[in-house]
Each structure stands twice: as structure tokens, then as C-alpha cells.
Amino acid sequence: MLKSILSVSGKPGLFKLLSNSKNMVIVESLVDSKKMPIHPRDKVVSLGDISIYTEADDVPLRDILVSIKNKENGEKVAIPAGMKPDELRKYFKEILPDFDRERVYPTDIKKIMSWYNILTDAGVDFEKVEKAEEAPEEAAEEKAE
């Protein structure tokens, strides 16, 4: 599911991929459900392709979102407007203790928290998504045996 959720540079919020063609993709805003075209000149990133730097390996965004959901008991994250960078890092350390403090900026943390809130409002269940994405791989492994 996160593969079909997109972040578009210069446009606030997150978007669900509806269709794509050679010259553009059609997306729907998860915030207000408006549909719009996205052209090749726009920078588009799938949330399924994003990972967060740690001291050892990169952690997929999906795992971070599940950790936030567990910490917040499925509720939205309260993001005070004047939250200081040290407070953001302290919060994120509870989510991902070994995140790379030099390569993960406070703006990145704030963006992840914002994305979590948007996805929560849209009703995306990260744990079900995670199992659904792993199921085809498990089926392929069972066929190989």
C-alpha cells in the first residue's frame, strides 16, 4: 500500500496513485480527496521507497510508521508548532533509538510525523499493509521448497 502513496515535491500532503501514463500520473490527495495530474517535471517519491538512516542499516519508513502507531496507541501525533530540534530528536529516539543523528534532520522527523498523521486520518493500517506486502514473498518461498 505504501508503494502507491506518493509525496510530490512542492505540493503539501500525500497522494494516492490512481493511474499513470507516459506523460503524467493522476493522483488523489489523501487530505481533501481532490484529483490532479502530476507531470514528469515534478519530483515524486513513493513512501514504500523511503528508508531512514541508522547507525547500522537503513530502516524502511513502514517500520517507523508502525513504531509511531504503537507508541501513540493508534492516535495522531501532537506536533507543537514551536517544537525545538532537540525535542524532535528526543521523540524520534523513542521510535528509533539508533537513528543517525547527523543524517536525519529535525525537518525529516517533523515530515515523518506529519505523514503519519495524514495516513492515520486516511485510515491506512500499517500493520495490515505490512503483512499484505510480505505475503507474496512468503508464497514464493513456499513454492521454491
SS3 5: strand
Res 138 pLDDT > 50: no
The grid coordinates of residue 121 equal 486520518
Q: What is the pLDDT of residue 40?
A: 87
CATH at 41: 2.30.30.730
CA 113 to chain centre: 9
Rounded to 5°, the CA angle 130-80-87 comes to 80
Query: 32-87: per-residue pLDDT in tens?
Result: 999 999 998 899 999 989 999 999 999 999 999 999 999 998 899 988 878 899 99
Instruction: Assess whether 31 and 68 both reside in one domain.
Output: no
Q: What is the pLDDT of residue 126?
A: 65
Closest CA to 15 of 23, 5, 1, 25: 5
Residue 134 belongs to domain spanning: 50-144
CATH at 129: 1.10.10.1650
Q: What is the pLDDT of residue 83?
A: 87
Query: 105-132: per-residue pLDDT in tens?
Result: 999 999 999 999 999 998 876 666 444 4
| Pairing mode, strands 51-52 and 44-46 | unpaired
Instruction: Assess whether 109 and 139 both reside in one domain.
Output: yes
How far is Cα 106 from Cα 118, in angstroms, rounded to an integer? 18
Its pTM surpasses 0.85? no
